[in-house]
Structure 1
Amino acid sequence: MREPVEARAAATPARGWLRRIGWLVLIWAVSVAVVMAVAAVLRVVMRSVGLTP
Structure 2
Amino acid sequence: MNVYSFNPRAEKVYLKAGFKREGIRRDAIMDENNYADDILMAILESDWRKMK
> Same-fold call, TM > 0.5?
no
- Larger of the two Rg values belongs to structure: 1
TM-score, with structure 1 as normaliser: 0.28
Going by fraction, where is helix more abundant, 1 or 2?
1
- Which structure is higher in RCO with an 8 Å CA cutoff and minimum separation 6? 2
Going by fraction, where is strand more abundant, 1 or 2?
2
TM-score, with structure 2 as normaliser: 0.28
